[in-house]
Structure 1
Amino acid sequence: MRQPTLYAAHRFTSRRTLELVLCVSLLCTLLIAFTAFVQSPTVCPDATPNETDQQRTFGPHRLSVIVPFRDRFDELLLFAPHMHKFLTEQGIGHRILIINQVDRFRFNRGSLINVGFLLSESKSDYIVMHDVDLLPLNPDLKYEYPKDGQSPVHLAAPNLHPRYHYPTFVGGILLMTNEQFRSLNGLSNKYWGWGLEDDEFYARMRDAGMNVTRPQGLTTGMKNTFRHVHDRAHRPRDTARLHNQRSETRKRDRLTGLGDVSYRLVAKHQLTMDGAPIEVYDVMLHCNLTATPWCQKKQ
C-alpha cells in the first residue's frame, strides 16, 4: 500500500507544522487499516439471524445442523459458509450448531450430537447430524423437512459417500425429525474415540421399525456428490480400543442415550464466518469411569 509522502523538515516553517503532518499521516494509516479490518471476510462475533425473518422467508420448518466438533477449525472455515449458502439456496430455514468438546476425554461423537439436540430442540423441528469434513456438492441433495410418514434420510448414502460403502452405513449426514430422534433416545454415550456409534444407531432405528431412505436418481456418484476434506495424515483418527472397549461397543446399547447424557455447558459463542452465522457451544462431557474406562486416553 502506498504510504502518504513525508516531506523533509526544512520545507516547513515550524516544528509544529511537521508534527501536525505526522499526526495526520498516522491517523490516515490507522483509518485505512481499521476500514480493511471491518470489511474483511473473517470470523467475527455476531448475532444469530432473526428467526422471525427466516420463518417468513423459508416457511414454518426449521433445521438444526448439529456438528460434533473438536480441533477442526480449518475444516470449519470451509464448512460454515458452504453449508449456509447451500441451505439458503434450497430455501431451508436453519441454524448451524457447532458442539465443541473441550474436556480432556476422548472424542465422543454420539454424546455431542445428543447435547446438540437438547440445545436446539426448542428452536427447530428437525435435525441433521453432520460431519464437519463432508460438504454436499449436488444441489439435488435435499435437506428439506421429511414428508408425512417419511423415514430418516441418510444423505451420505453408501453409493455416494467418498469412502464408506457398506450397506448399513448411516454416518456422515443423517436427517430426521425431532420426534424420531427423541423416540430413539438419541445415540449411545458409550463410544469414546472414533467409530461405531453410527452402527449402533442403525441398530436402534432397525429395532424401532424405521426404514432409512436415501437419495434417488442423482446423476453424481462417489467422486463428485460430496467434497471430503479430511486429511488422514494431518488429522489421524483415534481408533484405539482400550480396556474391554472392543467387546462392549459391539453390543446393542439399550441403556444410555439422550436421557442420560451428562455434560456441562462452558460457553456459547455467536460468530459469523464469511457471512455464515454459527453458534459454537463449548461443552465438557462427563464420563463414568466404571462403566466406560476407555473414555480416558492411554497414559
Structure 2
Amino acid sequence: KFCWYMLTSSVQPTNQNVISSQAMEKLAVKCGEGRGRALIRRIIAVVQTAKILGLPFSEAFEKQPIELLQLLSLKAQDSFDEAKFLVETHIMPASSIARILADSFLKGLLAAHRGGYLDSQKEEGPAPLLWRSSDFLKWAKLCPSEPEIGHALMRLVMTGHEVPHACEVELLILSHHFYMSSSCLDGVDVLVTFAANRVDSYVSEGDFSCLARLITGVSNFHSLSFILSILIENGQLELLLQKYSSTDTATVAPASVRGFRLAVITSLKHFNPN
C-alpha cells in the first residue's frame, strides 16, 4: 500500500512534474514482487525513454510501448539500453518488435546507400540513423523469436517495395542468418526460391557485385550454387574472389572456407571439364 500511495501521489503524467529515475528505482527496490515493483519499473522505462527522445513525460506516457520502441529504434546506436529496458518491462508481440527493427534497419541501409558508404567498413554515415549489420544483430536480441526477425526482413523484400539491390542483398543475408541460427528451414527455402527468381533482374542490370556479395554473405554455397555458376559464366570469378576475401575471415568457420573452395571448383569444372 505504501508503494502504491507513493507512486500515485508523486507520479502523474503531467509536464509539471520532474520525475527522478533514481528515486523511482529506489522505490522499486523497497517494493516487493506483486507490490508495485513491476509497475514502477515500467514507469521508469517510460521516463528514461522520454528523456532520450526529448519528449515530455506526459506525451511518452500516452504512447503505446511499441510506439516508443519504434522511436527509440530510429536513434539506433544511441538508445539501445533504453530500448532493452523498455522491452524487459513491457509486453510486446515478438512479430511487432521484429517488424520495427527490420523497418529501422532498412531506413539505415537506404541512408547509407544514398550516401555512397554502404560498403564502407568505417563508422561513417548519418549517425545515429545508420545501422550496420553488427548493430542489427545487437538489437535483434530484444526480440524473443529469431524466426520472426527473419520473416520481418524477408517481408521487406517480398512486398513489392522498391529496394535497391545493394540493400536487398543485406536484408537477405541477415534473414538467412536468423533462419539458420533458429533452424527455420522453411524460411531458408523461401529465401532461396526468392533469390532464384531475382537473379535475372541482377544479371540484366549487370549488378554482379551484389550477387557476389549475396553468395559470400550468406555462405550457403550448396543452395545458392546457381549464383556461383552465373558469376563464373559471366566472367566474374575475380570479382567473386575479391568479395570473398573482403569478408571477415576470422569469423568464418573452416568448413565454410572449404565449402566455398569446393563450390567454386565444382562450378569451374562444369564450364571447363578439362
Note whether the superposition's TM-score is higher than 0.5: no
Structure richer in helix, relative to its length: 2
TM-score by length of 2: 0.29
Query: Which of structures 1 and 2 has the bigger CA Rg?
Result: 1
TM-score by length of 1: 0.27
Structure richer in strand, relative to its length: 1
